[in-house]
Amino acid sequence: MNRKRRKREERQQYIFALKQLVSREIKRKYARSYLGIVWSVLNPLLTMAVMSMIFSTIFKRSIENFPIYYLTGTILWSFFSQSTDAAMTALVDNKNLLLKVKLTKQTFILSRVLTALTNLGYTMVAYTFMLIVFRVKISVTMLLFPLAIIFLLLFSTGISYMLSIAYVFFGDIKYLYSVVLTIWMYMSAIFYPVDSVTPVMQSIVSANPLYSYIQFARECVMYQKVPDGIVWLKMIGWGLGMFFAGYYIFKRKENSVMQKV
């Protein structure tokens, strides 16, 4: 009984420490701005308005409700790119703490990923608002949306683990990764319909793990249908697979990181 209670206390303390780290990241991000958190809501709205004004005329024949189509894709993409980009430097940024503190190293990476998740939470406010404005039909399938977020979270965490280890050894990967992210974004069909590109590109897009999350989200929110089994499979497979792969690599390389950092 005592051990159980102690374990629970430890877990509570861990969560408390994690929360503190996350709030530090968020405060730091908006340290010098007055609007602070409000930007998390405004930013996606503004980009969506601009992108819609530009692209909805180009795709007027093939995409119904471009603003929501775009917004769904972009909030999921932003979460992924922000979390992995920030988490990449987590170990190196906190190198003082790594050696002196009892916290496990995963905590630092997790704190950055959770920061991005908190940001996603704020953008959901904007998203819900837009759903109302564009009169998207409310349906039961919308309840499936959080699943996409959960598995995307697992996927991002796995990749973050791998990147943070790599960054300790090779600083160049930061620049490499920003290029990779750009290409990746264009292959995720965020602002264009999949049918409008060549078959080769179409197969690349459908193999893209990010696209499976975006597709899942779009289908259950915009088209009110339960996505096909294949999309489920891709979503869950990539999420779990990447998470365990990342975790495994992280565990193996943990000690060598301590020497290098």
Partner 1 sequence: MKKIWLCIICFILIMCGGLVHMDINALADTTVITLETNEYEVNNNEEIVVTIYLNSDVNIGAYHTEVKYDTYRLEYVGGGDNLVDGKVILEGNGYGKDIVYKLTFKTVSGGVAKISCVNGDIRIGGSADNKKQNISVASELMLNIAGEDTAISKENKDIFGIDASVPLCGVVDIDGVGRYYIIDHSEFIPDEAVWSYDTIKDKYGDATYTFITNKERNVKILYLMDSDGGYHMYAYAKEMQALYPCLEKVVEGQNSYVMSSNVCTSWPEDLTLDYVKKNNVCYVMNQNGECGFYKYVDDEFAKWSEEDGKAFLDGQMKIFYYILMAAVVVIIVVIASVFIVNYNSNEAKNERNKRRSKNANKSSDNSDIEFIDIDETDKVKTRHLNVIPEGSDKVKSGRSETISEIEEDEKPKERPVISVRNVTMKFRVSTSDASGIKEYFIQKIKKQVTYREFLALDNVSFDVFKGEIVGIIGTNGSGKSTLLRIVSGALGPTEGRVRVNRKKLQILTLGTGFDMELTARENIYLNGAIIGYTQEFIDENFDRIVEFAELQDFVDEKVKNFSSGMVSRLGFAIATIGEAAEILILDEVLSVGDEFFRKKSLKRVKEMIHGGSTVLMVSHGMGTILENCTKVVWIEKGKLRMVGEPKVVCDEYQKLYDEK
Interaction site with partner 1 (CB under 8 A): 9, 12-13, 16-17, 19-21, 23-24, 27-28, 31, 34-35, 38, 42, 45-46, 49, 52-53, 56-57, 60-66, 94, 96-103, 133-134, 170-172, 255, 258-259
- In the bound state with partner 1, the residue whose beta carbon lies nearer, of 52 and 123, is 52
**Considering the complex, what minimum distance in angstroms separates the CB of residue 38 from partner 1?**
6
**The tokens of 116 are what?**
């991005």
* Residue keyed to tokens 């349906």: 139
- In the bound state with partner 1, the residue whose beta carbon lies nearer, of 233 and 260, is 260
- In the bound state with partner 1, the residue whose beta carbon lies nearer, of 12 and 128, is 12
**Considering the complex, what minimum distance in angstroms separates the CB of residue 45 from partner 1?**
6
**Considering the complex, what minimum distance in angstroms separates the CB of residue 201 from partner 1?**
17
**Considering the complex, what minimum distance in angstroms separates the CB of residue 231 from partner 1?**
23
**Considering the complex, what minimum distance in angstroms separates the CB of residue 258 from partner 1?**
5
**Considering the complex, what minimum distance in angstroms separates the CB of residue 36 from partner 1?**
9
**Considering the complex, what minimum distance in angstroms separates the CB of residue 94 from partner 1?**
8
- In the bound state with partner 1, the residue whose beta carbon lies nearer, of 4 and 61, is 61
- In the bound state with partner 1, the residue whose beta carbon lies nearer, of 244 and 260, is 260
Cβ proximity of 84 and 158 under 8 Å: no
- In the bound state with partner 1, the residue whose beta carbon lies nearer, of 24 and 225, is 24
The one-letter amino acid code at 16 reads F
The one-letter amino acid code at 176 reads L
Q: Taking CA 46 as the corner, what is the angle to CA 154 and CA 155, rounded to the nearest 5 degrees?
A: 10
- In the bound state with partner 1, the residue whose beta carbon lies nearer, of 119 and 212, is 119
Per-residue H/E/C for the chain = CHHHHHHHHHHHHHHHHHHHHHHHHHHHHCCCCCCCCHHHHHHHHHHHHHHHHHHCCCCCCCCCCHHHHHHHHHHHHHHHHHHHHHHHCHHHHCHHHHHHCCCCCHHHHHHHHHHHHHHHHHHHHHHHHHHHHCCCCCCHHHHHHHHHHHHHHHHHHHHHHHHHHHHHHCCCHHHHHHHHHHHHHHCCCCCCCHHHCCHHHHHHHHHCHHHHHHHHHHHHHCCCCCCCHHHHHHHHHHHHHHHHHHHHHHHHHHHHHHHHC
